[in-house]
Amino acid sequence: MPDYRRNRVPGGTYFFTVNLLERRSRLFVEHIENLREAVRVVRKNKPFHIDCWVVLPDHMHCIWTLPIGDADYASRWKAIKTAFSKTIPKTERLSAVRRAKGERGIWQCRYWEHTIRNDLDYAAHVNYVHINPLKHGLAKCVADWPYSSFHRLVEAGVYAENWAGDGSVEMDAGESYGG
């Protein structure tokens, strides 16, 4: 069995990619309010700061910063996945293994986690999060994708509204991360 090692830095900042099991599904955008509510509930019980987030039809990327002294992102993801899954009708196909374990067939079992190392790493990952709708052909400019923290960061003055509007932003620093 593989030995999955997670880096845990109390109060750290982490980049995540979380996928649906069925990669052709549109479950996240079809049930975006359910996902948002699951995140709200978990943040109320186990606080964390959302630095940025983009939700695509079948996967999502985000950056979180945990409270000082706290490195437990795993329980937060488990709680988000559980809360979201409880709101979705049971229409997915289940393998015999998942059925025997009482699991749903919504999520990939694991997720990608990367501990942010420094300001340059942070900036590259924030850009990667926001460029993803273009990368996947879901929008012609970043501002057109509604399920993104990009809009909040435009309001805060971090990005110009037309950032990557013509597809000219290069994704060299962060494109190797995530899916």
123-168 per-position pLDDT tens digit: 999 999 999 999 999 999 999 999 999 999 999 999 999 998 765 5
Question: Is-above-0.85 flag for pTM?
Answer: yes
The tens digit of pLDDT for each residue in 39-66 reads 999 999 999 999 999 999 999 999 999 9
To the question of domain 13-118 being in CATH 3.60.60.10, the answer is no
Those residues whose C-beta lies under 8 Å from the C-beta of residue 165, and which sit 6 or more positions away, are: 141, 142, 143
Active-site choice (122, 147, 159, 177): 147
> Is pLDDT above 70 for 175?
no
Mean pLDDT of 83-106: 82
Q: What's the pLDDT at 143? A: 95
Determine how β-strand 49-55 pairs with β-strand 112-115. unpaired
Structure tokens at 47: 């606080």
Domains of the chain, by residue range, sit at 13-118
177 is catalytic: no
Nearest to 56 by CA among 32, 40, 81: 32
